[in-house]
Amino acid sequence: MTEPTVAPTGGNPWNIPNLLSVLRLIAVPVFLWAILTHHDVLAVVILVASGLTDWLDGKIARAFNMTSRLGELLDPIADRLYIVTTILGLGIRGVVPWWLVVALLGRDVLLAILMAWARRFGIFGVPVQFVGKMATFALLCAFPVVLLPHAVDATTIWARPLGWALMTWGLGLYWFSAVVYAAEIEQIARANGAEGQEAIDGDD
């Protein structure tokens, strides 16, 4: 599931940031194949490239005013796909425990349920919060570092503790961002409900 967002308007969709997002999406099945077939070096390279292009497309879009509706939709979709496919792949491989897989995917399921409920109040998205971006950044940094010892044995001594520190930080931020989004959705729903009631009272 993508982070709840308000759809932007305008902008030329045919630009470099969107091309980078499309390339990230194309690389998702390649990454999944690599990790499930134990091509761990390739999997790590794809994860690192994904993180770098995620950072780069945002920088380019802001620096050269290349923001667009398509770009604002593609970027979070690519992020969520990488998080879902990576955590599932790591779980299947036994690199991470299944409770972590459930914890990360459960957060997205919870937000999906909240957004479905919010549509009853005319809410189809809320602005992306900084904590949500930081959570995604932490997880996208953690994944390649956690996988690195399986690709290069010599990195185990430092990559394993660093990877799990980033993973713990990312998991905490991921759930904290869910609480922030839930509170914002509830606040907007209350406001919309109050406005609807005032309209009904006014008609009376």
Are 95 and 151 in contact by the 8 Å Cβ rule? The answer is no
Between 154 and 10, where is the model more confident? 154
CA dist list (Å): 114 to 1, 4, 79, 90, 100: 12, 10, 20, 27, 21
Q: Tokens 């979709």 identify what position?
A: 77
Q: Tokens 């994904």 identify what position?
A: 50
Phi/psi of residue 64, nearest 5 degrees: -115, 15
- Which domains are present in the chain? 16-203 (1.20.120)
Q: Provide the whole-model pTM.
A: 0.78
**Separation CA 191–CA 176 (nearest Å):** 23
pLDDT category at 182 given cuts 50, 70, 90 is confident
Scored b (16 or more CB within 10 A) or e, 109-127 reads: ebbeebbeebeebebebbe
Are 106 and 45 in contact by the 8 Å Cβ rule? The answer is no
What does the pLDDT read at residue 137? 87
pLDDT in tens, 65-120: 776 666 677 777 888 888 899 999 999 999 999 999 999 999 989 888 888 888 88
